[in-house]
Amino acid sequence: MAQAPARPASAVRLFDAHCHLQDPRVVAVAPALIRAATASGVARFAVNGTSEKDWHLVKQMADDHPAVVPCFGLHPWWVPERSPDWMDSLRRFFTETPEAAVGEIGLDKGSHGKTIDFGEQVEVFQRQLELAKELERPVSVHCVRAFGDLLEILKQSGPFPAGVLVHSYMGSAEMVSGLANIGCYFSLSGFLTGMKSTKAKQMPKSIPLDRILLETDAPDALPKLDDVSAPLVPVPSSDADTEKHHKDSESQVTTVSNESLNHPENIHTVLKFVASLLEMPEAELAELSYKNATKLFSYPGSKVYPEAEAI
């Protein structure tokens, strides 16, 4: 397995509040990604499952890596592919994994999301919100162009004392207060670097300081900044299956590239960018977002719980 280049140890500690290191594009190199990010100061990774196909991978990763906080949920994009007993299966993962949180679940009216029946999205979303409430776990929510619906549904089915994380928040500054008033947290990702700069300058400042978290959403959401060279995901090289995969890729015209994949170590780039928007020292934002994430993910049974007690 390719070794990530050694980087100087960072003084900051960070909590990647939402990522998908079980994603098939990076799962083979996930241990190297976790190792490199950990060496750079990332102490925790909330790894979110997206469908019945990857919950077992998330569980395995959490069993193998003390820094991984497992989250199980059915993402709106995978709603049409759910099996008739998806909910029983989801419940079983929570029974077998008492340290897990809920996610990624949500609503999507974006270019892909609008091809998926919205009524079904809402039904699947609400059932998982009910589960989060019943289990008293925080829930990581995906929302694209459906903030009005999200607010209504959260108001109707809340309150959620264990917390709701609106992940990779890209909504308006105006929408923040409504969501914050019902207890939502907001995590900011590299997608923010692609937001119109006037909007990107206003929005983070509208988030209460005790509700800001940082995330990479890796392997997605690679920050788009010219002046920052983000660490690349190493290409797996050693095992036979991977070799074969590479040969197969080469025999096709399209070459699989890792250059668009996001590395969890790039949370430092997100930190730097958000700190500049908030006009706040990076170390201060790192510590503040770390404490917020620790608080959110510190339910009884969670790996983070003993640490939160000490804060």
Nearer to Zn ion (CB atom), residue 108 or residue 282: 108
Task: State yes or no: 142 annotated in a binding site.
Answer: yes
Site stretch for Zn ion (CB under 5 A), options 79-87, 101-109, 226-234, 236-244: 101-109
- Report CA 156 to chain centroid distance, whole Å: 25
Angle at which helices 55-64 and 86-96 cross, to 10°: 10
CA distances from 287 to 35, 40, 94, 124, 217 (A): 21, 15, 30, 35, 20
Site string for Zn ion, 136-175 (x = CB under 5 A): ----------------------------------------
Neighbours of 310 (CB within 10 A): 6
Site stretch for Zn ion (CB under 5 A), options 85-93, 104-112, 177-185, 293-301: 104-112
Least Å distance, CB 250 to Zn ion, is 30
Sheet with 184-188, edge to edge strand ranges: 14-19, 42-48, 68-72, 101-108, 139-144, 164-166, 184-188, 212-214
Site stretch for Zn ion (CB under 5 A), options 3-11, 78-86, 149-157, 217-225: 217-225
The residue written with tokens 């990763």 in the block is 61
Least Å distance, CB 16 to Zn ion, is 11
Task: State yes or no: 245 annotated in a binding site.
Answer: no
Task: State yes or no: 75 annotated in a binding site.
Answer: no
Nearer to Zn ion (CB atom), residue 12 or residue 26: 26
String of DSSP letters for 180-211? HHTTEEEEE-GGGGGS-HHHHHHGGGGS-GGG
Nearer to Zn ion (CB atom), residue 46 or residue 271: 46
Site stretch for Zn ion (CB under 5 A), options 122-130, 149-157, 174-182, 213-221: 213-221
Least Å distance, CB 75 to Zn ion, is 7
Task: State yes or no: 226 annotated in a binding site.
Answer: no
CA proximity to 304, closest of 213, 243, 195, 218: 213
- In the chain, what is the greatest distance between 2 CA atoms, to the nearest angstrom? 55
Across-strand partners of 68? 45
CA distance 259 to 233: 7
CA distance 176 to 158: 17
Nearer to Zn ion (CB atom), residue 12 or residue 289: 289
Nearer to Zn ion (CB atom), residue 52 or residue 217: 217
The size of the interface with Zn ion (CB under 5 A), counted in residues, is: 2
Site stretch for Zn ion (CB under 5 A), options 79-87, 103-111, 169-177, 191-199: 103-111
CA distance 140 to 158: 15
Nearer to Zn ion (CB atom), residue 54 or residue 104: 104
Residues forming contacts to Zn ion in the complex (CB under 5 A) are 104, 217
Residues flagged as binding site: 18, 20, 104, 142, 167, 217
Residues flagged as binding site for a divalent metal cation: 18, 20, 104, 142, 167, 217
